[in-house]
A and B are shown apart, each in its own frame.
Chain A
């Protein structure tokens, strides 16, 4: 079945780095745009970054631009988020999501991985 599984979350000190991964299965990963979305504790959803199917086009939210880098390896059916210069406000559950074709909804979500930035 179609599935996304995130990993790599954890506790990190302010200013530190972390790399999240998202393993895809059950669909042709290389055909779809992919996104990262996060949700701070007791808060709403915030889109973080998006990457095109071949990795050539990338977008970031202003809140993470210059600190986070999205990438993908289609040979490994995997999506990544390299997070540097982490701040307390980056504390959140991070979800990866597959983007559908018609009007680009996020039609498949992973269960999320938790990132906590604290000293």
Chain B
């Protein structure tokens, strides 16, 4: 199985801050990497697919990069509605796996 390791597991940031979350795969997954946002009590929402492609309606302050084993999700200027938990997911193998999540909290 492909293991996905996210870091940090949590972070505190202020509105307007630039935030970067990293995700590392245990083997190369090309660009089969997706990012999701989840707010408490809600279903996850797809933000970025194929490592760097925007899902419809996602604000441009979100961006993704990387390929192979190392990936990043960047929020260029954190907004109040961005406080949530973020998950990466590999869709390279038939058994998909998620990272452990990064909780973004208000400083």
A-side interface residues toward B, CB under 8 Å?
35, 44-47, 50, 59, 61-62, 95, 99-100, 102-107, 109-112
Of the candidates A44, A46, A103, A112, the one whose C-beta lies within 8 Å of that of B91 is: A103
26 example contacts (A-B, Cβ-Cβ < 8 A) are as follows: A44-B100, A44-B101, A45-B36, A45-B38, A45-B87, A45-B89, A45-B98, A45-B101, A46-B98, A47-B96, A47-B98, A50-B96, A61-B95, A62-B1, A95-B44, A100-B49, A102-B53, A103-B34, A103-B49, A103-B50, A103-B53, A104-B96, A105-B50, A106-B44, A109-B44, A111-B43
The reply to whether B44 and A105 contact each other, CB–CB distance below 8 Å, is no
Provide the residues of chain A in CB contact with B50, threshold 8 Å.
102-103, 105
Q: How many A-B residue pairs have CB under 8 A?
A: 68
Given A45-B44, A45-B101, A103-B50, 15 other A-B contacts at CB below 8 A? A44-B98, A44-B101, A45-B98, A46-B98, A47-B97, A103-B91, A104-B32, A105-B50, A105-B55, A106-B36, A106-B46, A106-B89, A107-B49, A109-B45, A110-B43
Query: Which B residues from 75 to 97 make CB contacts under 8 A with A?
Result: 87, 89, 91, 94-97
The reply to whether B43 and A105 contact each other, CB–CB distance below 8 Å, is no
Interface flag for B31 (CB, 8 Å):
yes
Q: In the assembly, what is the distance between CA of A95 and CA of B97, in Å?
A: 15
Provide the residues of chain B in CB contact with A35, threshold 8 Å.
96
Provide the residues of chain B in CB contact with A110, threshold 8 Å.
43
Q: In the assembly, what is the distance between CA of A12 and CA of B98, in Å?
A: 27
Provide the residues of chain B in CB contact with A59, threshold 8 Å.
94-95
Provide the residues of chain A in CB contact with B31, threshold 8 Å.
103
Of the candidates A61, A95, A105, A112, the one whose C-beta lies within 8 Å of that of B49 is: A105
Smallest Cβ distance from A79 to chain B, in angstroms?
Answer: 15
Which residue of chain B is the closest to A4 with respect to CB atoms? B43
Provide the residues of chain A in CB contact with B46, threshold 8 Å.
105-107, 109
